[in-house]
Structure formats: structure tokens, C-alpha cells
Structure 1
Amino acid sequence: MAKLSVNVNKIATIRNARGGDVPNVVQVAKDCERFGAEGITIHPRPDERHITTKDVYDLKKVVTTEYNIEGYPDERFMKLIEETRPAQATLVPDGPDVLTSNAGWDTIKHKEWLTKICKQLSEWGVRSSIFVDTDHKNIEGAKAVGVDRIELYTGPYADDYEKDRDAAIKEYVYAAELANELGLGINAGHDLSLDNLAFFKQSIPNLKEVSIGHALIADALYLGLETTIKKYLELLK
């Protein structure tokens, strides 16, 4: 069974829109775990438009499952990782001006830098994951930099799912097979939902974890958070 890590960025976005501390991000994270989530994901951007620096440290105190911090590995991000030592650091290539992560790393171009980052994470006892697309060269490049896992960027899959799900999943299956051959763990995320998650999970060999935020929180507005999490967990069985 692949693990479900709930991204709580959107909870912080709602809180920040009004100021104050409602909804409380820490309490929501604790509730997600209580309802069955096996991880909590955050993406603390420099402008703090959702997750703040304070949230990073506050969540570290309470998360009892896998704490996953994702972001662009600049000096600020690496300082947060060093001081909080989450279970996993997911490296994404987008800068602070990007609305949401929407592309994978060019692991060939950035080989030297990513190798240094992954080595540092390993020394801190933090599992490393790199956001990649299905390009085989970039997956082979991920192996070369010493990363523990890849996170497959599933935006294109979600976009094409309704048109032709078999065509939409094809390149992801090939990418996953290569990752398995190379000994890389496989995570996935971006626009996975109640509609497309089950087919993705059943098609991808040895999928370890999915990180879902936007769709899950949107579903929770109608179904409630507990019911929504249980529905996502059921699809991952």
C-alpha cells in the first residue's frame, strides 16, 4: 500500500487570507494523522504565502508520521532542513515566483549541485527525493546524484486522464520500471485526485508515497476531512 502524505499548504492559505490562526495548521495536521494519513507535507516558500517559517518548526513538534518538507534547495531551505530534520526533503526546481511546482529537474544540468545537496541530506539523516518528469535521462541522472527517491510530476497524467487514461499513464509506467531497475524509490504528486488516483496506483509498480493537497482539501469542503482522507486511503489499497 502506497502511503498518503497530506499537503497542508491550502490550510495555511485559508488562514493567511484572514489573518489570525483559523484554521489552525498544526491542529489540522494532527487531525489528518488521526484520520489515517501517513505523512504531512509542506512547501514553505520564501514569501510565506501559505506555510510560514514558524509553521515549519511548530509542525516538527507534533507530526508523528512522516514529515516531508519540499522546496527549492537554496540556503534558506537547507537551513530549515538542518534544524528540523524531517523524514524526507523533496527538492523541486521552481523558484520563489512560481505559483506551484509544475516541472521536474534537469538532473544532468544540475548534477554537481544536486549531488552536493543529496550528500548533505544523507549526512543529516534525511531521506532525499527529487521532483522529476518521465524523461529517462533525468531519472538516470537522479540516480547519479545519489538521491533516495524520485517524485514523479503527475500534472500531465492528470490533464490527459479523462481523454485517454491508458495513453496518459504509459510514460509513467516506463519511468517507474526504470526507477525500479535503478533502485530508486518512487513517490508521486500534483493534481492526483479521487478520480485518477486508483488507476495511477494500480499501474505504477512499487509506488511508495503520494503527496496530495489541493484536490484533497477541495474534496474535504464537501465531504469533510475525515471522510475524504479515508476515501483516498481506500484508493491506495
Structure 2
Amino acid sequence: MSTELRHRFTALSVNLNKVALVRNTRHLGIPSVVKAAAMCLEAGAQGITVHPRPDQRHIRTHDVFDLAEEMKAWPDREYNIEGNPTHNLMRLARQLHERGMPLHQLTFVPDGEGQFTSDHGWRFPDDLETLVPLIEEGKAMGARVSLFMDAEPAQMRAAKEAGADRVELYTEPYAAAWATPDQDIQTKRFVAAAQAALEAGLGVNAGHDLNRSNLGHFLSKVPGVSEVSIGHALMADALEMGYGATVKAYRACIEASGEVLV
């Protein structure tokens, strides 16, 4: 199902969880998750991300399929579904695959069922036995498999050996250190982790608390980032600027960073 889509600059995948969270506070069906996706794609986003948690507090099962249907109209863009593969993620992926619907990337995240937000990555060798068959299954469905990982260089080769195609670096520590004395220390951690991932033969994604202030610096320093997945900050900006202007502003941050992929 998946094809490796290449972009000159780091790809922007928009996480729509917060759109669904607002919608779920009422029973009116607004704001529309599908309309939000279409408007972001029209503005130049290269992908859409959702994280359907078991409690369905934001993205719900029908959203996963409604968005997959919308993505059919955007064959040059990617659909990324993230979550814990031991919860509901693989069931949804199997159903998409069986229906021949878009499924470009599966991002495995080690969340607990009631976890507030993602806050740590997989650990090796602890998680190896659990992940290997799930990675194999995801890849057999034609999806690229990315593992949500802390910025620890020593863990990257193990992620590759488990069968992953990419890692998504968990960037909250970088974001928390932004404009503090620890900024340089955290930046160097992520540079080292990305370099280790690239040397191991992994692609590099990044996400969590990236925003218009810190994104450009991150990409100008951290090598080879193929994709950033951004939700909370982007949607907060969209409340003031609108979807289209916000996506264009994030694309401008990315392009101004000078990160060019080959």
C-alpha cells in the first residue's frame, strides 16, 4: 500500500487529535476532522497524523476510516497512524489494509491506556520481544514502521535490528529546554541521536512540542529529519491564524531552516 514519498525539505505531517478533542465536547460534529485535513493538505501539508487512543477521547474509530477515505484524493501525501500496537492500533491497521485504504506509516508509541500524552520512547532490549512480530506485521501490510524513541544514540541500532524503518525522536526535552541554559545540551543530544539513527540505516522523524519558535533551529542542527509531526502547537496557532495560514507558516519555518533532503 505504501510508497516512499520524497520531499525536498522535511515533510510536515499535521496531527488532528486536538480538532477531534474539541468536536467531542458537543454532539454537533463540528469542527470536522476531515475538513481540517483537507484544508491543511490544500495549504501544503505533506501528511496527516492521528493517534486513536483506546478511550477515544479525541480521534475515534470512524475518524480513522473517514480520513483514509479523504486521503484517497491526495495520492502524493501520507497518512500516519500512531499509537501503542498492543492496544487498538493494529486492529485498525488491519481493517484499513483489508479494505485497500491508504496506510503509509505506522508509528508505534509505548503509551499506557489512560496516558495523558506520550512521554517516553521504547527501550531495548526490554521491548524487543514485543515489537519484532508487530513490526513485521506492519511492514507486511505495506506500511513504513517508525518507533517513538528517546534521544539516546545507543538505542538506535537496536531499533534497526528490531526491524524498524524509522524512529520518531521524542522532542519534548528539546522543547522544554528552549531558550534556557540547557538548550545547547539538548540540541546536541538530538544531533547525536539522529546521527546514530542515520548511521544505523534508519530514517528520522521527530515530534512532540515542536512549534514555530523552536522548529527551525531544530531542523537546522539535527541532521536528516524526514518528517515532523506537529499537533498541539499547530492547532493552537490555527485558532488564531486559520488552518491554511498556519500550515504555510510552519512550512516557511521548515524551508528557512535550510534542511534539504536528497
What range describes the TM-score normalised by the shorter chain of this pair? over 0.9
Deviations 1:136-158 (A, max 9, x none): 23222211101000000000000
Report the Cα distance in structure 1 between the residues aligned to 2:108 and 2:58, rounded to whole angstroms.
Answer: 18
Per-residue CA shift, 1:5-64, capped at 9, x if unaligned? 000000000000112210011111111101110000000011110000010111110122
Amino acid at match of 1:125: G
Choose which of 59, 64, 84 in structure 1 pairs with 2:67.
59
Matches within 5 A, 1:155-174: 155-164=172-181, 165-174=183-192
Number of paired residues?
237
Verify: 1:78 aligned to 2:90, yes or no: yes
Separation of aligned partners in 1, 2:198 and 2:175: 22
Secondary structure (helix, strand or coil) at the match of 2:107 reads strand
- Indicate the percent of aligned positions where both proteins have the same amino acid: 45
Match of 1:142 among 159, 171, 174: 159
**Residue number in structure 2 paired with 1:44:** 52
Deviation per CA, 1:169-214, whole angstroms, max 9, x where unpaired?
0100000111111110000000000010000011111110000000
Specify the SS of the correspondent of 2:55: coil
Question: After the TM superposition, which of the residue ranges 18-27 and 192-201 deviates more from structure 2?
Answer: 18-27
1:68 to 67, 73, 80: 80
Q: Alpha-carbon deviation of 1:75?
A: 5.3
What corresponds to 1:29 in structure 2? 37
5+ residue gaps, structure 2, are 1-8, 98-102, 256-262
The alignment status of 1:117 with 2:134, answered yes or no, reads yes
Task: Give 5+ residue unaligned stretches, structure 1.
Answer: none
Q: What TM-score, normalized to structure 2?
A: 0.88
Could you tell me how far apart the structure 1 residues matched to 2:96 and 2:233 are?
Answer: 27
| 1:191-210 correspondence runs (5 A) | 191-210=209-228
User: Which residue is equivalent to 2:240?
Assistant: 222
Amino acid across the alignment from 2:243: L
Helix, strand or coil at the partner of 1:134 = coil
Give the letter for the 1:129 counterpart.
S
Q: Are positions 1:235 and 2:253 aligned together?
A: yes
Q: State the Cα distance separating 1:168 from its structure 2 match.
A: 2.3
Distance, in Å, in 2 between the alignment partners of 1:58 and 1:223 is 25
Partners of 2:81 and 2:107 within 8 A in 1 = yes
Q: TM-score when scaled to structure 1?
A: 0.97
